[in-house]
Amino acid sequence: MNAGILKRLLEEVREGRVGTEEALDRLKTLPFEELEFATVDTHRSLRQGFPEVIFGEGKTVAQIKAIIKSLLKHGENVLVTRADGKKGRELKKAFPRGEYRGAARTFFVKSHEVQKAGRGTVLVICAGTSDVPVAEEAAITAECMGNHVVRLYDVGVAGIHRLLHKKHELMTANVLIAVAGMEGALPSVVAGLVARPVIAVPTSIGYGANLGGVTTLLAMLNSCAAGISVVNIDNGFGAAYVASLINRK
Amino acid sequence: MNAGILKRLLEEVREGRVGTEEALDRLKTLPFEELEFATVDTHRSLRQGFPEVIFGEGKTVAQIKAIIKSLLKHGENVLVTRADGKKGRELKKAFPRGEYRGAARTFFVKSHEVQKAGRGTVLVICAGTSDVPVAEEAAITAECMGNHVVRLYDVGVAGIHRLLHKKHELMTANVLIAVAGMEGALPSVVAGLVARPVIAVPTSIGYGANLGGVTTLLAMLNSCAAGISVVNIDNGFGAAYVASLINRK
Amino acid sequence: MNAGILKRLLEEVREGRVGTEEALDRLKTLPFEELEFATVDTHRSLRQGFPEVIFGEGKTVAQIKAIIKSLLKHGENVLVTRADGKKGRELKKAFPRGEYRGAARTFFVKSHEVQKAGRGTVLVICAGTSDVPVAEEAAITAECMGNHVVRLYDVGVAGIHRLLHKKHELMTANVLIAVAGMEGALPSVVAGLVARPVIAVPTSIGYGANLGGVTTLLAMLNSCAAGISVVNIDNGFGAAYVASLINRK
Amino acid sequence: MNAGILKRLLEEVREGRVGTEEALDRLKTLPFEELEFATVDTHRSLRQGFPEVIFGEGKTVAQIKAIIKSLLKHGENVLVTRADGKKGRELKKAFPRGEYRGAARTFFVKSHEVQKAGRGTVLVICAGTSDVPVAEEAAITAECMGNHVVRLYDVGVAGIHRLLHKKHELMTANVLIAVAGMEGALPSVVAGLVARPVIAVPTSIGYGANLGGVTTLLAMLNSCAAGISVVNIDNGFGAAYVASLINRK
Amino acid sequence: MNAGILKRLLEEVREGRVGTEEALDRLKTLPFEELEFATVDTHRSLRQGFPEVIFGEGKTVAQIKAIIKSLLKHGENVLVTRADGKKGRELKKAFPRGEYRGAARTFFVKSHEVQKAGRGTVLVICAGTSDVPVAEEAAITAECMGNHVVRLYDVGVAGIHRLLHKKHELMTANVLIAVAGMEGALPSVVAGLVARPVIAVPTSIGYGANLGGVTTLLAMLNSCAAGISVVNIDNGFGAAYVASLINRK
Amino acid sequence: MNAGILKRLLEEVREGRVGTEEALDRLKTLPFEELEFATVDTHRSLRQGFPEVIFGEGKTVAQIKAIIKSLLKHGENVLVTRADGKKGRELKKAFPRGEYRGAARTFFVKSHEVQKAGRGTVLVICAGTSDVPVAEEAAITAECMGNHVVRLYDVGVAGIHRLLHKKHELMTANVLIAVAGMEGALPSVVAGLVARPVIAVPTSIGYGANLGGVTTLLAMLNSCAAGISVVNIDNGFGAAYVASLINRK
Amino acid sequence: MNAGILKRLLEEVREGRVGTEEALDRLKTLPFEELEFATVDTHRSLRQGFPEVIFGEGKTVAQIKAIIKSLLKHGENVLVTRADGKKGRELKKAFPRGEYRGAARTFFVKSHEVQKAGRGTVLVICAGTSDVPVAEEAAITAECMGNHVVRLYDVGVAGIHRLLHKKHELMTANVLIAVAGMEGALPSVVAGLVARPVIAVPTSIGYGANLGGVTTLLAMLNSCAAGISVVNIDNGFGAAYVASLINRK
Amino acid sequence: MNAGILKRLLEEVREGRVGTEEALDRLKTLPFEELEFATVDTHRSLRQGFPEVIFGEGKTVAQIKAIIKSLLKHGENVLVTRADGKKGRELKKAFPRGEYRGAARTFFVKSHEVQKAGRGTVLVICAGTSDVPVAEEAAITAECMGNHVVRLYDVGVAGIHRLLHKKHELMTANVLIAVAGMEGALPSVVAGLVARPVIAVPTSIGYGANLGGVTTLLAMLNSCAAGISVVNIDNGFGAAYVASLINRK
């Protein structure tokens, strides 16, 4: 749209109806939005294929519904994260073709099929059963973003053989998401075994000196293994988003 | 080397000099290292092309020299990080063909040429001039690991136009490393402009409420922009390592 | 009132009914309140035109009602902050001409019209929709204190173009209040664009490493941009009060 | 400078040497810097009269000298902060007409006289003698920025009468900067006495539970008095900058 | 009781039925309790006159009732602290002659009159109305322990004249308890005015950077005024206990 | 089982049906699980005699029931920890021969008698009545793991004689578990009296500066007495597990 | 001095040279200092007999000397705290009749004899030899303030019998100062043995999880024993000051 | 010595020179030390065979020498910990038969041979070469206390195969000490492999978010593996002491 404004101005200059000084002044005072459209468009197009994502926590069902409706109109796929059971049921009622996943607390409504587009597998590993909700948030998000996802759950470092048994899955993944609470040692061990980027997700699982996941977070940031980067506590979505960007062709 | 041991055992079995029961026992009691070579080898080969890296802080020059010598013998490229000026000068004297970079506090000795191997550009962005040492540690490391690196320095968010001017560099990078101290806002702004993974590196630049970089670190983990993952404070090396894994073909 | 006491004493001295020594003694032992009236009066008169403000959190509706009644008797305008929906409804019932704003959690009862008195515009900017309640507390408070207020919401730094589009509002404001949660980068970017004081309000919006807004607060205090000062987490009222003092003619 | 580029382009359009479509393309692909000059210029002009400021800590004397020289060439006044005694002496030797203030750790070189331009007095108050360096950094900075500055030192709250004695200075200031370490109570008492904005500066003076000034900072953010905003620990410069913006006509 | 055991042993020695060596052995192996009775008795007698105190939080009404009954049997006065409204009503029903104070959350049952025994007045000062429950816990506790208590409430430092008006009460107190939340500046100002010990009680009143009273606590510990010692957050009882010990003749 | 796979391979080699090179390849690609069986089995057998333990917090009754059933089928004893009253009652209904202990929040179902197997007594000491739930979790766990357990409750350091009276119990214990909240001084005093290992368990009992048990935890880690090691806040189970390992013959 | 001003004014009123209205105006505008002298004087006189105290840390020897000289002129006793060995030697040279105590880092110059004036003994107890400097600072300060001081050193809780041996000293003290680092348990044990106020002084002795004394401080604030109040880390002076106020007749 | 006093008293009783009542009184008023010798003796004898240990940090060489001399006189073995190179050399000069270990910063002087007395092996494992000093402090201490010690160094979890190779050492140890910095994952992995108690020692090795070892400490306390207890940061001595108590027959 902005191109139109600029073009008209340039035509007026060419036709001599607007002097160069005046044109210069008008260019200077054009709102920023008129000049920077390129950024916006490019940006959006690069993200093409990713669904729009709604952070469901702290929003009412009514608010979420309104946003979903608006996005569906534009033909977007829509992913809601952090939607508890009650919200999930109400969203399902409102958008029956949507899919609610209780374990992941996600609700996904498609306008079009998700195209599998990644370079390889996104492997989601988690340490304990209590970490599964965060791991599932990551796994579902990654799937909705077009990745082939493999899950490897309940392979905590206290029973290291369970993890080592899964050599094939570890070795063939293109990106790994390692979800763990408590001491958060899983990403260190995993990154020592593979040669691909590991995204560490600390969870708030733990008590006492766990400090709501802060201990886990800090421990992961101090990993003795190279190849790890970290996202916020319980941020399965964020890890999947990074993994999807990495995994894009 | 372990393959040799196993092969000899198998040949003895084939030749009947060792019974299957005895071979089984010997296999069971072989130290783990004999059995797991696959992991080790695979692992190493996948990493092929990366130099060996020595964390120079807290090691004496004598210790560093010894490790370098041993690695050069095996034909490895060797990168020393966190080598202050004094260490740098001594290392340069000992290994004259090595290259010391004062700004980055790195020393690099090549056994063979580094092969440029990445899918695209690794863009290292930093906010202030005080953040340059960490940015340079990242940039040099990424170069030593075979990436094409572009630097974009002194583009802090308080003068947002300086960053926005660099649209081309931002848009064409395959992986971005955003280095910042103080409030650590740079990665948020950058990740809002691009569609590739951003690795955020908090630095310990700041004072008072900066808490030695902890504030910066926590702020980055709370970024409102998707597509960001974070490494430890001042960990330029770690960011470059992750970036290199992402950028590998 | 205290002036009367002093005057009577001085008259007694003049008339010779009280000796100077005795008068001196009585002056010395007068309670502080008799001597310091000037402070109190001057102080109040300087603040003239600002409403009285009641912090509604932790007070019962009955308590709030009683304070409002008492203040209305003295002809004051009264602003209640942190009044949740239930409290708001009950206050509205008790004072029907009062105005309850749910988004801001404020209740305002006027004894007299608010006089617009500021030197210019107070611009309230906020990063995300979750920050709106705090931003609205600031905006409503500033309005009740006689300022012309402009709102600029949902202009987080992850979509920097949305903020840059609003050049006019940014450039013409006399004081700016920048409200943000998570990494709290908004004030840094804003202060880099304008040449007026920016009051930063961290919100408790975020999770995990956000630490209930402490991360946001510390990040804002470490801003790389000059011209920023900070108030307590979620303290929209406090920011508006400072802004009003700055904006007074 | 950028205006020239644009003007040339517009003239070429007017003269028919460049078509509108081509001009449009060139406008779109111009680096951001070409388009946003307005911001930059406006911004700078609004700040007119303020000196350029160099944060001296962590920079070598050579680096500082180079920056000063470059700025003096452009006719700027230059203020160096956080310059310890040794740096101060070397800077004085290099720029003999500059003025070094040991207590404030500032060095100021004028290209032109500072014009007194504020609406009123900036009052710098500090609690203890150990807080003087930070207070002086604030006072000198405010003076260099064209304000009339009054100092009120050693008026801690443990001897409240010393503060109360200075009623006149308190009542006539347009902006107040309250500098304190330890429990940081000074701004609360001051803000309760005046009706103008108070900028609180916590210092790192204290020990043990003071936590390097963090306790002071947090206490100030929790002030029971309205009208206070806070800057980072020991940030005398930042407070003066905000005060100067407030005090501008 | 233990005296009996010892006496019997000594008599056996005197009567020659037990040799000195054997007696020595038996003395050595006597359990500790037999030897240390003196401590226990002395200790108790020194505390004579203080009521027994039950910390009501986290105990059921049934548990509290049982302890009260047992203590009343021994003729003790009993003070229950941290008893919310519901507990208070049930205790009142069970012990009708007891007195429940809602503001202080205390329940007091007397077996005998409390003897006024202190050297002077215990002055309980508090900053804001939200601090009253903690102040009242202190005041009631001090009264139950035989002190003459004077209350001075709502004299926060932001309105310093209110505090200064109360010169007489401040100057005549023997011990002062200063209760405050938020920035906790009250004890500093008070200790600067008086020449008696001030016990500072931080409250958890505040939000955001108050960190549940930790900021207030740390600020109080950093007071620039001498003569202050501090107790735990909200610990009105503890302050009153210390004050009572100080005030004993 | 894995031994079978290896044996077959070796037989094939011996019989010449598989060449050594091929056998080598197959050995390299055998999943980890085939090679590491020994670890797993040995590990389990060493733990023999300990019950399986289910952490009940955050699991539904249905989940707990399912796990119990599965474990009972394998002839295991099963201990559930952190089962509140409601869960306890439901578990008791489902497994009537199980034993629920309200104070300890444990539920224990036996498949076979627990064999008393320790070298000596495990002494569980706790400071206050509020610490009893954690102490009981430790005591019951230790009993279920075959230890002879002695309890010593309500022996806080503020009444040191109560602890000193119990010389016999202290001196004869083989391992001691010291449970305390608040300042956590108990383990220091205990370790100064005995010559056996003391496991310190901080509890979350306390308020204000206790920080949910973190203060207690840190204090215990700083004990001036040798012979103490520490587990997580409220981790009675963990302490008992360590004590059981120590106490095993 | 101020009395003179007032008296003159009153005499002028009496003599009719100044009217009452004018006198009233002049009274109102007299600086605060003229009116509040009573406070100041009373205050000082109440403190009579205490030396003036100079906090030596962060002051140069020249600064300290100047303050001492000025105070000696007014006939005050002067106590310097936190004076390291070098400062001590220089002060001794400058004021040869002064006394430097290396262990306590104090320097004391008398203008007149210190009068023993307390109600009883101040007992200074410390846990370890590393805590002695802080304990000595407290002991010397208390002595300089006119108290009879008894020292009880190296009686940590890990060897509880050493403390219990000193029953007499414990039982006869009027105020107790308990100095300890590490887990800080000493005040709890002491307060459980005596019936007088205990002032707890945490020291920064410890490492790792001690956090520079913060752990010790927090632990002391959480003491399970009543009768304890706490001062800042290493604040031996502050404890002695409070103790002296308590111990005054 | 105390036995003498008691014996004389008993003899006087036997001989009729002292009545039982008087003897009783004298027993009651005997200082504690006279009565409690039993504890002390028993205590000491239980610890028999352990050397006396001097914490060298913060003590001068002169002080250490004096303590060593005194202990050698009593025939004790003496271990000095935290003795840096300079101290070590001076101690070696003073006590030539003592042994200084630079890596461990220990100095050991024997009065008599150390008797190997443990039930089994104490295995000291450490993650990185930087952790060796702490590991060596543990190893040397354990050896000086009579244990058979095995070292397993540089087996961090990022190269898990190095640890797994050492199955024999892991499986045969009676007590394990796991020393690690950074994320501190080693004890979790180790405790998952063995069935004996693991004492975790966090080190201060790391930077940034490591917070001087606090992150490592907290992570270890949150281990997902049972069988772990933790000591203070860098407390190799403390771990060895606990291990020695566990390993005693």
Contact D58 B130 (CB under 8 A): yes
Q: Measured between beta carbons, which residues in chain H are less than 8 angstroms from residue G168?
A: 31
* Predicted pLDDT of residue B28: 54
Whole-angstrom Cα distance, residue G83 to residue G102?
8
Could you tell me the pLDDT band of residue D27, with boundaries at 50, 70 and 90? low
Contact H208 B234 (CB under 8 A): yes
Contact D207 G233 (CB under 8 A): yes
3-state class (DSSP) for residue D224: coil
C194/chain A closest Cα distance in angstroms = 15
- Highest average pLDDT, of A200-204, F16-20, H35-39, comes from A200-204
Whole-angstrom Cα distance, residue B78 to residue A137?
40
Residues in contact with E22: Cβ distance below 8 Å, sequence separation at least 6, in sequence order: none
Residue D60's H or E segment, with its range, is none
pLDDT in tens, C43-100: 333 344 688 899 998 888 998 999 999 889 878 899 999 999 999 999 999 999 999 9
Show which residues on chain A lie within 8 Å of chain D, measured between beta carbons: 3, 6-7, 10-11, 13-14, 16, 19-21, 23-24, 27-29, 32, 35-36, 38
CA angle E205, E209, E210 (to 5 degrees): 25
Is the pLDDT at F74 greater than 90? The verdict is no
* Predicted pLDDT of residue C18: 86
Of the listed ranges D160-169, F52-61, H233-242, the least confidently predicted one is D160-169
For residue C127, give the nearest of C35, C220, C27, C46 by alpha carbon: C220
pLDDT in tens, C125-152: 999 888 999 999 999 999 999 999 999 9
Whole-angstrom Cα distance, residue E229 to residue E223?
9
Neighbours of chain F (3+ CB pairs under 8 A): A, B, E, G, H
pLDDT in tens, G220-234: 999 989 999 999 999
Q: What ipTM was predicted for this assembly?
A: 0.83
* Predicted pLDDT of residue G34: 34
- For residue G48, what is the DSSP state? T
Show which residues on chain C lie within 8 Å of chain E, measured between beta carbons: 31-33, 36, 39-40, 57-58, 202, 204, 212-214, 217, 232-235
Could you tell me the pLDDT band of residue H44, with boundaries at 50, 70 and 90? very low
Three-class SS string for chain A?
CHHHHHHHHHHHHHCCCCCHHHHHHHHHHCCHHHHCHHHHHHHHHHHCCCCEEEECCCCCHHHHHHHHHHHHHCCCCEEEECCCHHHHHHHHHHCCCCEEECCCCEEEECCCCCCCCECCEEEEEECCHHHHHHHHHHHHHHHHCCCEEEEECCCCHHHHHHHHCCHHHHHHEEEEEEEECCCCCHHHHHHHHCCCCEEEEECCCCCHHHHHHHHHHHHHHCCCCCCEEECCCCCHHHHHHHHHHHHEC
Whole-angstrom Cα distance, residue H121 to residue H243?
10
Say if residues F170 and F176 touch (Cβ distance below 8 Å).
yes
Percentage of residues in chain H with pLDDT exceeding 70? 88
Percentage of residues in chain A with pLDDT exceeding 90? 57
- Residue D227 tokens, joined: 């009208």
Of the listed ranges A60-64, D7-11, E109-113, H220-224, the least confidently predicted one is D7-11
For residue D197, give the nearest of C174, A26, H245 by alpha carbon: C174
Among the partner residues A164, A205, A210, nearest to F36 by beta-carbon distance: A164
Q: Measured between beta carbons, which residues in chain C are less than 8 angstroms from residue B185?
A: 157, 183-185, 188-189, 219, 224
| Interval F52-65 mean pLDDT | 90
Whole-angstrom Cα distance, residue H90 to residue H84?
10
* Residue H61 identity: V
Q: Measured between beta carbons, which residues in chain A are less than 8 angstroms from residue D36?
A: 32, 35
Whole-angstrom Cα distance, residue B94 to residue B65?
8
Cβ count within 10 A of residue G103: 12
Say if residues D126 and D180 touch (Cβ distance below 8 Å).
yes
- Highest average pLDDT, of B29-43, E64-78, H121-135, comes from H121-135
Say if residues D220 and E183 touch (Cβ distance below 8 Å).
yes
- Most A CBs within 10 Å, among D9, D14, D22, D25, to test the A interface: D14
D31-51 burial: b if 16+ Cβ within 10 Å, else e? ebbbbbbbbeebbeeebeebb
Say if residues C140 and C132 touch (Cβ distance below 8 Å).
no
Burial grade of H29 (CB within 10 A; 0-12, 13-18, 19 or more): exposed
Is the pLDDT at B179 greater than 80? The verdict is yes
Distances (CA, A) of C76 to C49, C66, C107, C110, C111: 9, 14, 14, 7, 6
pLDDT in tens, E206-217: 999 999 999 999
pLDDT in tens, B59-101: 889 989 999 998 888 788 999 999 999 999 999 999 999 999 9
Burial grade of F171 (CB within 10 A; 0-12, 13-18, 19 or more): middle
Using the Cα atoms of residue H6, residue H7, residue H9 and residue H13 in order, give the sign of their dihedral: positive
Is the pLDDT at F96 greater than 90? The verdict is yes
Could you tell me the pLDDT band of residue E198, with boundaries at 50, 70 and 90? very high
* Predicted pLDDT of residue G249: 76
3-state class (DSSP) for residue E160: helix
* Predicted pLDDT of residue D4: 59
- Most C CBs within 10 Å, among A32, A34, A179, A233, to test the C interface: A32
Among the partner residues E31, E33, E234, nearest to F207 by beta-carbon distance: E234
Question: To which residue do tokens 């929906």 refer?
Answer: C85
- Highest average pLDDT, of A17-21, F52-56, F122-126, comes from F122-126
Residues in contact with F77: Cβ distance below 8 Å, sequence separation at least 6, in sequence order: F51, F52, F108, F109, F110, F111, F112, F114, F144
For residue H240, give the nearest of H50, H6, H13 by alpha carbon: H50
| Interval G128-148 mean pLDDT | 94
Whole-angstrom Cα distance, residue H125 to residue H153?
5
A97/chain B closest Cα distance in angstroms = 27
* Predicted pLDDT of residue B4: 60
Number of DSSP helices (H) and strands (E) in chain G, helices first: 12, 9
pLDDT in tens, E30-67: 433 333 333 333 333 334 468 889 999 888 899 899 99
Of the listed ranges B171-185, C154-168, H232-246, the least confidently predicted one is C154-168
* Predicted pLDDT of residue H168: 84
Say if residues A214 and C209 touch (Cβ distance below 8 Å).
yes
Contact C232 D226 (CB under 8 A): no
- Assess whether chains B and E touch, using the rule of 3 or more C-beta pairs within 8 angstroms: no
Contact B234 H207 (CB under 8 A): yes
Contact H7 E16 (CB under 8 A): no
pLDDT in tens, H72-92: 887 889 999 999 999 999 999
For residue D152, give the nearest of D128, D181, D130, D182 by alpha carbon: D128
Contact E208 C234 (CB under 8 A): yes
pLDDT in tens, G90-125: 999 999 999 999 999 999 999 888 888 789 999 999
Say if residues C196 and C174 touch (Cβ distance below 8 Å).
yes
Contact E234 F208 (CB under 8 A): yes
Query: Could you name the CATH architecture of C121-247?
Result: 3-Layer(aba) Sandwich (3.40)
pLDDT in tens, G198-216: 999 999 989 999 999 999 9
Burial grade of G99 (CB within 10 A; 0-12, 13-18, 19 or more): middle
CA dihedral E9, E10, E11, E17 (to 10 degrees): 70
- For residue D115, what is the DSSP state? P
Among the partner residues C159, C210, C224, nearest to B222 by beta-carbon distance: C210
D98/chain A closest Cα distance in angstroms = 39
For residue B49, give the nearest of B76, B73, B25 by alpha carbon: B76
For residue C133, give the nearest of C155, C103, C172 by alpha carbon: C103
* Predicted pLDDT of residue C8: 80
- Most B CBs within 10 Å, among F10, F17, F32, F33, to test the B interface: F10
* Predicted pLDDT of residue A4: 61
| Interval E95-115 mean pLDDT | 94
* Predicted pLDDT of residue A212: 93
Residues in contact with A124: Cβ distance below 8 Å, sequence separation at least 6, in sequence order: A135, A138, A139, A142, A149, A150, A151, A152, A176, A177, A179
Whole-angstrom Cα distance, residue G152 to residue G149?
10
For residue A175, give the nearest of B174, B197, B122 by alpha carbon: B197
Among the partner residues F32, F202, F214, nearest to A164 by beta-carbon distance: F32
Cβ count within 10 A of residue G113: 8
- For residue H115, what is the DSSP state? P
Q: Measured between beta carbons, which residues in chain F are less than 8 angstroms from residue E235?
A: 208
Distances (CA, A) of D224 to A203, C66, E130, E186, G15: 37, 22, 12, 11, 48
Contact G36 D161 (CB under 8 A): yes
Say if residues D97 and D109 touch (Cβ distance below 8 Å).
yes
Neighbours of chain D (3+ CB pairs under 8 A): A, B, C, E, G
Could you tell me the pLDDT band of residue A27, with boundaries at 50, 70 and 90? low
Whole-angstrom Cα distance, residue A23 to residue G228?
78
pLDDT in tens, F205-220: 899 999 999 999 999 9
Contact D209 G212 (CB under 8 A): no
For residue H219, give the nearest of F221, A214, A235, F134 by alpha carbon: A214
Say if residues H152 and H180 touch (Cβ distance below 8 Å).
no
Show which residues on chain G lie within 8 Å of chain H, measured between beta carbons: 130, 161, 164-168, 205, 207-211
Neighbours of chain A (3+ CB pairs under 8 A): B, C, D, F, H
* Predicted pLDDT of residue H18: 86
* Predicted pLDDT of residue E43: 36
The mean pLDDT value of chain G amounts to: 86
Of the listed ranges A172-176, B70-74, F101-105, H46-50, the least confidently predicted one is H46-50
* Predicted pLDDT of residue C5: 63
Contact G157 F189 (CB under 8 A): yes
Neighbours of chain H (3+ CB pairs under 8 A): A, B, E, F, G
Of the listed ranges C51-60, D141-150, F3-12, the least confidently predicted one is F3-12
Question: To which residue do tokens 């898990």 refer?
Answer: H160
- Residue D205 tokens, joined: 């003076």
Whole-angstrom Cα distance, residue G182 to residue G165?
22
- Assess whether chains C and H touch, using the rule of 3 or more C-beta pairs within 8 angstroms: no
Could you tell me the pLDDT band of residue H58, with boundaries at 50, 70 and 90? confident
Give the nearest chain C residue to A39 (CA atoms).
Answer: C161
Where in chain C are the domains? 3-109, 121-247
Whole-angstrom Cα distance, residue F220 to residue F188?
8
- Highest average pLDDT, of D28-37, E118-127, G6-15, comes from E118-127
- For residue D181, what is the DSSP state? -
* Predicted pLDDT of residue A16: 85
* Predicted pLDDT of residue G4: 60
E170: phi then psi, degrees, rounded to nearest 5: -65, -45
* Residue B115 identity: Q
Contact G164 H36 (CB under 8 A): yes
F169: phi then psi, degrees, rounded to nearest 5: -60, -45
Rg for chain F (alpha carbons), in Å? 23
